[in-house]
């Protein structure tokens, strides 16, 4: 889903597991995505967000993929991002995603593009 969003929005993409959180300092908007693991964000997403530098006035968009239920993913990430100075303006999820099968992310991408056009 991250690749589809990056392609549609022309935004750069960074792997959270291998990128330093300071990579986001030059951007006004952060788009954070994670698979759901045990009804929570993936560990890599949590560690990345926890290591983000504090900021003011920046926006965030969240997305997740899940098989059955997204759990508390957005609440957990929104709280952590808020403590870093980010205002979450949109959260989108895609249900039924299986790693070995292609998925249609067009609805989620359309929502993200609408928010970015404002």
Is 115 part of a structural domain of the chain?
Answer: no
d(C-alpha 66, C-alpha 102), whole Å: 14
Residue 85 lies in a domain: yes
Q: What is the mean pLDDT of the chain?
A: 91
pTM: 0.89
What is the tens place of the pLDDT at every residue in 6-42?
988 888 999 898 988 889 988 999 999 999 999 999 9
pLDDT at 103: 81
Pick 94 or 83 by higher pLDDT.
83
Which H helix or E strand runs over 91? strand 86-95
Within a domain: 114: no
CATH code of 33's domain: 3.40.50.360
Inside any domain, residue 116 = no
10 assigned to some structural domain: yes
Supply the range of the domain harboring residue 81.
2-108
Domains identified in the chain, total number: 1
pLDDT attached to residue 17 = 87
Residue 117 belongs to some domain of the structure: no
The two beta strands, 40-41 and 29-37, are antiparallel
Q: Note whether residue 32 is domain-resident.
A: yes
What does the pLDDT read at residue 86? 97
Of the ranges 18-27, 65-74, 100-109, which one carries the lowest mean pLDDT score?
A: 100-109
């Amino acid at each position: 889903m991250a690749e589809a969003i990056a392609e549609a929005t022309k935004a750069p993409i960074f792997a959270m597991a291998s990128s330093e959180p300071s990579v986001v300092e030059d951007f006004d908007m952060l788009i954070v995505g994670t698979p759901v693991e045990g009804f929570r964000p993936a560990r890599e997403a949590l560690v990345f967000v926890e290591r983000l530098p504090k900021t003011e006035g920046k926006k965030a968009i969240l997305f997740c993929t899940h098989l059955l239920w997204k759990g508390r993913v957005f609440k957990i990430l929104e709280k952590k991002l808020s403590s870093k100075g980010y205002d979450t303006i949109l959260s989108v999820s895609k249900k039924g995603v299986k790693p070995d099968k292609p998925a249609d992310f067009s609805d989620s991408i359309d929502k993200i593009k609408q928010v970015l056009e404002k």
